[in-house]
């Protein structure tokens, strides 16, 4: 899905070669400051490499218009963005931005159930807990159904039981819908249990890329 060729980003990342496979879940692990978020931002075209080439489906990413790219490759950032609006408006935000038809209320309720967020559509999201906001932001991304999900610590604010349920749901979703997930996680045990590929980053370098049997 993605191929990195001699990619550098400032002094932060130096990746001679890396493949991100389509239709599977790749976990990115590594210490704080290693460059995990920077890697996702490169894939989302939020930033561009200072040297080297990133290919997306074999195409030079620098030649693909950012807006088109971000429809297919959606990033959920590390600090979830939740508007001081209702749950419904938060979920529909991506559709307003795309000037697309908003989903039905049934579809909105279904996605809340998938992320285990037991809240009404007219509740205000600003008073939600950190973990509730995180699940609301995740629900918004799931509704938009991109080809590639770039998820930056999508379950970091959750208790460990909910975390397992959410990650399992995401991985199942990727498998059954042939979607690609690239997920940063601090939890090595989660990466080992659920990811198909684990990429370990240390100080801006790929330490290891492990494909699970």
Q: Return the one option of ligand ATP, Mg ion, none that residue 118 interacts with (CB less than 5 to 8 A, by type).
A: none
**Is there binding between residue 37 and Mg ion (CB under 5 A)?**
yes
**Is there binding between residue 80 and Mg ion (CB under 5 A)?**
no
Q: How many CB atoms lie within 10 A of CB 19?
A: 15
Exposed/middle/buried for residue 9 (C-beta within 10 Å: 0-12, 13-18, 19+): buried
Chain residue whose CB lies nearest Mg ion: 37
Q: Return the one option of ligand ATP, Mg ion, none that residue 208 interacts with (CB less than 5 to 8 A, by type).
A: none
**Is there binding between residue 155 and Mg ion (CB under 5 A)?**
no
Q: Return the one option of ligand ATP, Mg ion, none that residue 35 interacts with (CB less than 5 to 8 A, by type).
A: ligand ATP
Asked if 188 and 32 count as a contact pair (C-beta separation under 8 A), the reply is no
Cβ closer to ligand ATP: 31 or 53?
Answer: 31
Cβ closer to ligand ATP: 111 or 184?
Answer: 184
CA distance 4 to 17: 5
Q: How many CB atoms lie within 10 A of CB 95?
A: 15
Query: Hey, CA dihedral for 184, 18, 55, 181, is it positive or negative?
Result: negative
Q: Return the one option of Mg ion, ligand ATP, none that residue 131 interacts with (CB less than 5 to 8 A, by type).
A: none
Q: Which residues of the shown chain bind Mg ion in the complex (CB under 5 A)?
A: 36-37
């Amino acid at each position: 899905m993605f191929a990195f060729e001699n990619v550098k980003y400032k002094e932060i990342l130096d990746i001679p070669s890396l493949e991100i496979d389509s239709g599977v879940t790749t976990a990115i692990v590594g210490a704080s400051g290693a460059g995990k978020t920077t890697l996702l931002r490169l894939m989302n075209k939020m930033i561009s490499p200072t040297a080297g080439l990133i290919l997306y489906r074999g195409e030079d990413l620098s030649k693909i218009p950012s807006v088109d790219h971000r429809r297919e490759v959606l990033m959920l950032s590390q600090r979830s963005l939740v508007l001081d609006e209702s749950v419904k408006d938060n979920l529909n935000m991506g559709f307003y931005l795309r000037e697309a038809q908003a989903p039905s209320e049934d579809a909105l309720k279904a996605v809340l159930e998938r992320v285990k967020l037991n809240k009404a559509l007219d509740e205000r999201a600003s008073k939600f807990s950190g973990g509730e906001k995180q699940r609301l932001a995740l629900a918004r991304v799931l509704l938009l159904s991109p080809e590639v999900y770039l998820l930056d610590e999508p379950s970091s604010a959750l208790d460990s039981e909910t975390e397992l349920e959410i990650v399992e749901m995401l991985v199942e979703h990727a498998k059954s819908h042939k979607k690609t997930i690239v997920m940063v996680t601090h939890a090595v045990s989660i990466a080992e249990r659920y990811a198909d590929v684990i990429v370990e980053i240390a100080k801006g370098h790929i330490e290891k890329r492990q494909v699970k049997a």
